[in-house]
């Protein structure tokens, strides 16, 4: 009995301690949760404001020195960039932040494969930019993609991805193919079928261990994106199973895999980067931003070996491109809107193009010398300004769907299986459709 | 091992220290009532923090997940829930990818748990000998456990890389061709198992070691007097004494392998990581859940997967219990 009492006596002190601890931690917890709603406006007593820009991959603002320049023009504003390397990591995080209403940056990047889903489901979370920017300044279809049915523009277009063909002229020479831009363009003028024929020609005398293309999925994307109808129809119904452009792209990819014209690499993966570095691929389907990817991954050792010419066929294509949006729950909506307007103005888009080669979506930029006369030294001084501006004029207005990004990724994975594992086109298509149905579900 | 009698006194209450002086009888009854209340209620106060925290961060999410599993909820619109009943369960049970994930989880679980526990047992046996700087060795053996999954998985991803990976480089010297580890059905599972084994062996070793040190030395002395070799002692004395501990580690490892997530996700990273490879060859249940919920944005089926995983764990636990009972009965 005595012992129990002692234990109980000790316990009381402990109980007091435990209760105090509990209360303290409860306070801490509530303290944490109420913190985010506090009146922190991101500006201090002197009116200094810090704006955050959350994006993914390479937007090129830092490379072009634009944030520093904005600070010079507006000394009370500092811009911080929060970059997530992989858009597939970035986007779910953005959705979560939109749902919880906390953790959002003042400016958020949105990829074109997601813009439809955002417009459909999250438009009221973003500031309407239609009064600040003039949507007519953009290439006709770009701003339409970010416009809601009732006319609100929720994202200002940054770049577009007009298609070209990047080729390793050094390997072309070794394989006995023409290396001149115009001659290569003439060889593939008939379209992507011609491109495969050129591939077979290449294969006959190809240097050992090299392949005509990096990945058939790139060709698939190029083919699909040269069509107005891609994975969805105008009413928002998924039609990818019967879409002629998907069928054409798929068949060409299957043919490329079957003829072993491709190295079968998943684009942007480590092995893909390594292949560029070692110079084992002769061609890459090349939306404007891809040129930057190639020069970064292939490195200085391959400078001057690469060149750029117009994409196969006569129809223009667009692959990729992003938007800048301003969440309503951000701390400085007005200042953020001004920043977005400035970043997407012609001069700034031209500066980004000059720095890393992503192509402006603002038409005004095409008249600027930085774009019009742009040549890429890495690619043997290819006149990319001219190539891409010509292409951009005739890009069809694509019908977007909410799950475009996932559909594209899923099909790419299965094309990769055909190339790498020799999966039959039928099996790969079955796997792709079941995975896509699940994604759209 | 020293006997513990001398230390026992240290925990005895100081003589007479807490005895109360007699007070008025009314005060005493009030006091004793308080005592009694304290006596009965205090233990609940001790354990309350756990249950409060568990209620808020364990039970509530568990039940809410169950609720979500019966609805159609999209990541893009969490406030819109539409009742669909068992549809989500129906959907995942008819999805071949789910069953691929189940079999992958079990295969990787077995491939990582069995060698891991055997090696841990052996290492613990070695560490149980008199060693110079034994604390050093014990600390070293625990270091892999202290590294984060992410960094371990990333380092091993470099080791297992097809192109320029450390392992392939070594294999090439020995004369084997290139193996695309992450791409193959078995090689990818081996790669993931290696990461798991590397991380958890030390942890299990220390658990075994602790249990081994609790085995009375007289048993070994008696065994060696009877002429038992080291190996015989290990088999006839150590293993039987460790049986409850071994069962414990098996349960813990089973739960661990059920939740296997970071290693497969990071082996290749990116889109391939989220789908467990291009043919789902190393997709575990957790990765399947992640992909469904966060990549595809369908939270309903993802929640259903979570409950399916719980059900699987309960089934495993039941089987475990039955086997345990059978073993105990047959041992008697």
A253-273: pLDDT as tens digits: 999 999 999 999 988 888 899
Q: Which residue on chain A is closest to B78 by alpha carbon?
A: A99
For the cut 60, the answer to whether the pLDDT of residue A1 exceeds it is no
Question: Between chain A and chain B, how many beta carbons pairs sit less than 8 Å apart?
Answer: 107
Which chain A residues are closer than 8 Å to B96 by Cβ?
434
Q: Which residue on chain B is closest to A404 by alpha carbon?
A: B296
pLDDT attached to residue B245: 93
Mean pLDDT of A71-98: 92
The number of angstroms, rounded, from the C-alpha of A126 to the middle of its chain's C-alpha atoms is 20
pLDDT tens per residue across span A288-340:
989 888 998 999 999 999 999 999 988 889 999 999 999 999 889 999 999 99
Answer whether A8 sits within 8 Å of B38, measured CB to CB.
Answer: yes
pLDDT tens per residue across span A101-127:
889 999 999 999 999 999 999 999 999
Torsion of CA A165, A170, A174, A177, to 10 degrees: 30
C-alpha A171/C-alpha A183 separation (Å) is 15
Listed by number, the residues of chain B in 267-326 with a beta carbon closer than 8 Å to a beta carbon of chain A are 268-272, 274-275, 278-279, 292, 294-298, 301
pLDDT class of A388 with cuts at 50, 70, 90: very high
Q: Which residue on chain B is closest to A428 by alpha carbon?
A: B279
Give percent above pLDDT 70 in chain A: 90
Q: Which of A26, A88, A417 to mutate to test the interface with B (most CBs of B within 10 A)?
A: A88
For the cut 80, the answer to whether the pLDDT of residue A9 exceeds it is no
Query: 3-state DSSP: chain B helix, strand, coil percent, rounded to 5?
Result: 75, 5, 20
Angstroms from A339 CA to nearest CA on chain B? 27
**Partner-chain residue, chosen from A9, A15, A120, that has the shortest CB–CB distance to B45:** A15
C-alpha to C-alpha distances, A148 to A111, A113, A129, A130, B10, nearest whole angstrom: 16, 16, 11, 11, 76
Answer whether A438 sits within 8 Å of B162, measured CB to CB.
Answer: no
For the cut 60, the answer to whether the pLDDT of residue A45 exceeds it is no
- Any idea which residue has 């958890």 for tokens? B200
Q: What token pair was written down for A103? A: 């953790």
For the cut 70, the answer to whether the pLDDT of residue A65 exceeds it is yes
How many Cα neighbours within 13 Å face the side chain of A249? Answer: 31
Q: Which residue on chain B is closest to A271 by alpha carbon?
A: B163
pLDDT attached to residue B295: 87
pLDDT attached to residue A271: 85
Q: Which residue on chain B is closest to A4 by alpha carbon?
A: B39
For the cut 70, the answer to whether the pLDDT of residue A418 exceeds it is yes
Strands A163-168 and A107-111: unpaired
- Any idea which residue has 């060889």 for tokens? A187
**Partner-chain residue, chosen from A19, A88, A96, that has the shortest CB–CB distance to B45:** A19
pTM here is 0.81
The number of angstroms, rounded, from the C-alpha of A314 to the middle of its chain's C-alpha atoms is 24
Give percent above pLDDT 90 in chain A: 73
pLDDT attached to residue A10: 44
pLDDT class of A22 with cuts at 50, 70, 90: very low
Angstroms from B45 CA to nearest CA on chain A? 6
Write down the number of H helices and E strands in chain A: 18, 11
Query: Tens digit of pLDDT per residue, chain B (332 long)?
Result: 444 444 444 444 545 444 555 555 666 788 888 888 888 889 999 999 999 999 999 999 999 999 999 999 999 888 889 999 999 999 999 999 999 999 999 999 999 999 999 999 999 988 888 888 888 988 899 899 999 999 999 999 999 988 778 998 898 888 887 788 888 999 999 999 999 999 999 999 999 999 999 999 899 899 989 998 888 988 888 999 998 899 899 989 999 999 999 999 999 887 788 899 989 999 999 999 999 998 899 999 999 999 999 999 999 889 888 887 887 777 65
Q: Which of B293, B294, B299 to mutate to test the interface with A (most CBs of A within 10 A)?
A: B294
Mean pLDDT of chain A: 88
Is the distance from CB of A379 to CB of A308 less than 8 angstroms?
A: yes
Phi then psi dihedrals of residue A165, to 5 deg: -125, 120
Answer whether B270 sits within 8 Å of A18, measured CB to CB.
Answer: no
Angstroms from A19 CA to nearest CA on chain B? 8
Which chain A residues are closer than 8 Å to B52 by Cβ?
22
Q: Which of B12, B77, B296 to mutate to test the interface with A (most CBs of A within 10 A)?
A: B296
**Partner-chain residue, chosen from B38, B161, B278, that has the shortest CB–CB distance to A270:** B161
pLDDT attached to residue A6: 38
C-alpha B124/C-alpha B104 separation (Å) is 29
């Amino acid at each position: 009995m005595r012992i129990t009492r002692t234990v109980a006596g000790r316990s009381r002190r402990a109980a007091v301690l435990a209760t105090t601890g509990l209360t303290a931690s409860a306070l801490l917890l509530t303290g944490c949760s109420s913190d985010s709603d506090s009146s922190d406006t991101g500006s201090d007593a002197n009116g200094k404001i810090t704006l955050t820009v959350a994006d993914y991959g390479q937007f090129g603002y830092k490379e072009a020195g634009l944030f520093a320049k904005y600070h010079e023009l507006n000394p009370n504003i500092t811009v911080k960039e929060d970059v997530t390397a992989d858009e597939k990591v970035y986007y779910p995080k953005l959705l979560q932040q939109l749902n919880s209403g906390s953790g959002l940056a003042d400016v958020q990047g949105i990829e074109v494969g997601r813009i439809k889903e955002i417009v459909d489901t999250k438009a009221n979370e973003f500031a309407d930019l239609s009064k600040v920017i003039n949507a007519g300044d953009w290439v006709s279809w770009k701003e339409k993609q970010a416009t809601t049915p009732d006319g609100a523009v929720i994202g200002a277009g940054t770049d577009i991805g007009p298609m070209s063909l990047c080729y390793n002229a050094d390997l072309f020479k070794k394989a006995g193919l023409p290396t001149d831009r115009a001659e290569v363009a003439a060889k593939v003028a008939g379209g992507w079928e011609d491109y495969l024929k050129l591939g077979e020609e290449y294969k006959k005398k190809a240097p050992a261990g090299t392949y005509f293309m990096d990945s058939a999925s790139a060709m698939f994307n190029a083919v699909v994106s040269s069509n107005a109808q891609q994975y969805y129809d105008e009413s928002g119904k998924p039609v990818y199973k019967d879409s002629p452009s998907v069928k054409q792209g798929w068949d060409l990819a299957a043919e490329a895999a079957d003829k072993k014209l491709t190295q079968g690499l998943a684009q942007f993966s480590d092995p893909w980067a390594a292949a560029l570095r070692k110079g084992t691929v002769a061609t890459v389907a090349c939306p404007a931003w891809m040129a930057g990817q190639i020069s970064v991954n292939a490195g200085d050792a391959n400078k001057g070996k690469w060149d750029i010419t117009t994409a196969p066929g006569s129809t223009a294509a667009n692959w990729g491109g992003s938007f800048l949006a301003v969440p309503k729950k951000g701390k400085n909506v007005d200042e953020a809107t001004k920043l977005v307007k400035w970043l997407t103005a012609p001069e700034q888009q031209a500066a980004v193009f000059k720095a890393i080669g992503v192509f402006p979506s603002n038409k005004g930029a095409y008249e600027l010398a930085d774009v019009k006369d742009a040549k890429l030294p890495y690619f043997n001084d290819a006149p990319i300004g001219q190539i891409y501006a010509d292409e951009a004029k005739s890009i069809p207005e694509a019908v977007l769907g909410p799950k475009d990004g996932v559909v594209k990724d899923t099909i790419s994975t299965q094309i990769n299986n055909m190339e790498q594992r020799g999966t039959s086109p039928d099996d790969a298509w079955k796997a792709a459709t079941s995975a896509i149905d699940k994604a759209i579900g | 091992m020293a006997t513990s009698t001398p230390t026992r006194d240290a925990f005895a209450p100081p003589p007479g220290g807490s005895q109360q002086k007699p007070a008025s009888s009314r005060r005493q009854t009030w006091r004793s009532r308080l005592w009694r209340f304290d006596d009965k209620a205090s233990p609940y106060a001790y354990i309350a923090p756990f249950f409060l925290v568990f209620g808020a961060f364990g039970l509530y999410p568990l039940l809410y997940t169950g609720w979500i599993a019966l609805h159609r909820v999209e990541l893009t619109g969490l406030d819109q829930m539409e009742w669909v009943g068992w549809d989500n369960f129906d959907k995942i049970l008819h999805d071949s990818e789910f069953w691929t994930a189940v079999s992958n989880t079990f295969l990787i679980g077995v491939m990582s748990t069995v060698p891991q526990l055997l090696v841990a047992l052996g290492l613990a046996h070695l560490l149980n000998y008199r060693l110079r700087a034994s604390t050093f060795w014990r600390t070293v053996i625990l270091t892999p456990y202290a590294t984060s999954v992410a960094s371990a998985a990333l380092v091993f991803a470099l080791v297992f890389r097809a192109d320029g990976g450390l392992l392939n480089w070594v294999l090439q010297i020995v004369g084997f061709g290139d193996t695309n580890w992450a791409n193959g059905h078995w090689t990818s599972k081996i790669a993931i198992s290696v990461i798991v084994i590397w991380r958890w062996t030390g942890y299990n070793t220390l658990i075994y070691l602790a249990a081994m040190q609790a085995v009375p030395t007289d048993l070994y002395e008696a065994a060696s007097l009877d002429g038992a070799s080291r190996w015989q002692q290990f088999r006839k004395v150590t293993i039987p004494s460790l049986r409850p501990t071994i069962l414990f580690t098996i349960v813990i490892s089973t739960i661990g392998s059920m939740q296997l997530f970071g290693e497969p996700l990071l082996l290749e990273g990116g889109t391939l990581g989220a789908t467990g490879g291009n043919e789902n060859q190393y997709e575990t249940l957790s990765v399947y859940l992640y992909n469904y919920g966060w990549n595809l944005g369908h939270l309903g089926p993802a929640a259903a997967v979570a409950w399916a995983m719980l059900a699987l764990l309960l089934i495993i636990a039941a089987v475990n219990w039955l086997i345990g009972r059978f073993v105990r009965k047959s041992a008697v």
